[in-house]
Each structure stands twice: as structure tokens, then as C-alpha cells.
Amino acid sequence: MDPRKAREVLRKQGIFIHENDPVLDVAALCDAAMTDTLTAIEGVVKAAADRTSAAAAQAVDAAKETAEVVISQGAAFMLEQFRGSVHDATATMLAELRAETARATRASRLASRIAWGAAILAAIGLAGLGGFLLAALGAR
């Protein structure tokens, strides 16, 4: 604070101080010290805010990296689970198809045997009928 301004302020309040009075010098020193102190505090606060901001940015970056790792590992895990499920389903379907194929083969063999049996019975029947007709013609 300027000593002349301080003297004028004090004069308006009814206090008269001489120009060479050391009280004004002390007031000027206190004002300068206060200004320097406030400037220093502002610098410290700004530096602390910058450090906090930098730490927060690092924390965000670390969280992003962690999230990327978790997502990629989760995707790999899900892919392995899907592959395992597909493998199990494929194995189950193949086993069922083999069983159905075996049943169809057995049914085909059975149908073939029945057809042969029917053909043999039909041949025996025809032979019997032919013999009966020949016997009937020979008896006349």
C-alpha cells in the first residue's frame, strides 16, 4: 500500500500522521509481505492443483488400460466357452446321427430280409401252385 494513500485514509478518519512516521513504513512493509505471501500461496495451490490433475489423468489412463485388458480377456474367455459349447454340441449331434444311422441300417437289413423271405415264400407258393396245376393236368 502506498504510504500517501494510507495517510489520506487515516486523515479522513481523523488521524494525522507525519510523512516521516515509521508507522507508514511498517504498514507498507506489511502490505508488501501480504502481497508476496498471497502470490506464494497462489503458486502452491496452482502447483497442487496441477499435480492433482496430472494424477487424475494418470488414474483415468490406467483405468482405461485395465478396462481394455478386462474386456479383451472377457472376450477371449467367452470365445473359449463358445468353442467348448460348439464342440460339445457337435459331439452330441454326431453321436445321435451315428445312432440313427445304425438304426436305419438295421431297419434296411430287416426290410431286405423280409423282402427276401416274402420272395422265397412267393416262389414256394408259385412252385406249389405250379405243381398242383401240373398234377391236375396229369390226372386228366
The DSSP string of 62-97 is HHHHHHHHHHHHHHHHHHHHHHHHHHHHHHHHHHHH
In a domain, 118, yes or no: no
pLDDT tens for 39-72 read: 999 999 999 999 999 999 999 999 999 999 999 8
Task: Report residue 19: phi and psi, to 5°.
Answer: -60, -30
**Domains identified in the chain, total number:** 1
In a domain, 132, yes or no: no
User: CA–CA separation, 98 vs 119, rounded Å?
Assistant: 31
User: CA–CA separation, 56 vs 62, rounded Å?
Assistant: 10
Q: Are 31 and 5 in contact (CB under 8 A)?
A: no
13 is in which domain, residue-wise? 3-101
* pTM of the predicted structure, to 2 decimals: 0.43
In a domain, 36, yes or no: yes
What per-residue confidence (pLDDT) applies to 57? 92
pLDDT tens for 4-32 read: 777 777 778 777 777 777 777 777 777 77
